[in-house]
Amino acid sequence: MANMFALILFIATLVTGVIWCIDRFKWAPARRAQQAAAQAQAGNTLDAKTLAKVSSQPGWIETTASVFPVLAVVFIVRSFIYEPFQIPSGSMMPTLLIGDFILVEKFAYGIKDPITQTTLIPTGQPKRGDIAVFKYPKDPSLDYIKRVIGLPGDKVTYDPYSKTLTVNPGCSQGKTCNTALPITYTDVEPSKFIQTFSGFNGNETGNGFFDVPQGETMRGGLRLGTRKETLGDVTHNILLVNEAQSQAGMYYQQPGQPQASWVVPQGQYFMMGDNRDNSADSRYWGFVPERNLVGKAVAIWMSFEKQEGQWPTGVRLNRIGGIH
């Protein structure tokens, strides 16, 4: 199954719901009937405590029935409205940092069956620039988060040397597409982040991203570059490793297309991370089918200062709010 937790939550909600219904419409009336009969036989002299002993509700039924409304609310909200996710890696920096906890709008791209991910009610389509959560096509048990770059029919070209994008809409099915989407970039400037590398200069044993003030250095690390990318009418910041070499040889090669160029098939999307030189995205493994879409990231509800695979060292309250 694409989502084991959703399946477990569904089964738990179903089981507790069945017990709640049986208790409400069968067992509870039977208990009340027994109490009424006992009260009549005693000439209406029994108090509430005594009546409860005549026909009491078993503890396991009481517990199960009380849990059902909570599970039902959690199941409905998580499956169809909002679902919380944690950002585990730096692929979407600087927009999303490791340790950010985000809310994903589940109904943004359709009301879906939470178990099979089948769309039940269409409600909308991804737009260029959206930050979307989806099931990783090569392993649907994993949730990925990236920015939507290419829509169905778009021709996406990435220059690994200038690290710039070109997007030509309407190129599917052999159509000629000469009109390019307006994409602009600001100059590359030093960012506030330094990245450390495994074995870099023999001093580091692990990778990490650290917020280090301008003018300061960090042993075994490189300061990342940053610039603004305007994709149509959506502007966001991206990070670059200025010293990174081209990895075009590792890109996904779409049949019939030149290297580092892709035409997005119908019903699929092209995704990229904002941390361009530290993101395993559609450039490397291809397209995301529409059925794999989980929802749109809309807000940060909590943020912990941490590194990948490590325990938090602080709280970043200033990051709580909408995602820009």
Q: What is the pLDDT of residues 184-216, one digit of tens each?
A: 999 999 999 999 986 544 333 447 899 999 889
CB atoms within 10 A of CB 247: 12
Mean pLDDT of the chain: 90
Average pLDDT for 146-159: 96
Is it true that domain 87-322 has CATH number 2.10.109.10?
A: yes
Q: What is the pLDDT of residue 1?
A: 45
Summarised one tens digit per residue, pLDDT across range 264-290 is 999 999 999 999 999 999 999 999 999
Beta strands 131-135; 293-305: pairing state:
antiparallel
For residue 203, the model assigns a pLDDT of 39
The domain ranges of the chain are 4-81, 87-322
Q: How confident is the model at residue 174 (pLDDT cuts 50, 70, 90)?
A: low
Distance CA 291, CA 201 (A): 44
- Of 45-54, 57-66, 217-226, the one with minimum mean pLDDT is 45-54
Give backbone dihedrals phi and psi of 157, rounded to 5 degrees, phi first. Answer: -125, 130
Q: At what angle do helices 4-22 and 59-76 cross, to 10 degrees?
A: 130
70-101 pLDDT tens trace: 999 999 999 999 999 999 999 999 999 999 99
168-182, 262-276, 285-299: least confidently modelled range: 168-182
204 Cβ contact partners less than 8 Å away, ≥ 6 residues apart: 196, 197, 198, 220, 221
Q: What is the mean pLDDT of residues 3-17?
A: 88
Q: Which amino acid is at 205?
A: T
174-183, 202-211, 218-227, 270-279: the lowest-pLDDT one:
202-211
pLDDT average, residue stretch 30-41: 81
Percent of the chain with pLDDT over 90: 66
> 151 with 264: CB under 8 angstroms?
yes
pLDDT at position 199 is: 52
Mean pLDDT confidence for 55-65: 85
pLDDT value for 197:
80
Each residue of 100-125: pLDDT tens digit?
A: 999 999 999 999 888 888 889 999 99
**Residues involved in catalysis:** 91, 146
pTM: 0.86
d(CA 324, CA 317): 16
pLDDT at 31 (0 to 100): 83
204 and 197 Cβ atoms separated by less than 8 Å: yes
What share of the chain has pLDDT > 70, as a percent?
95
pLDDT at 205: 40
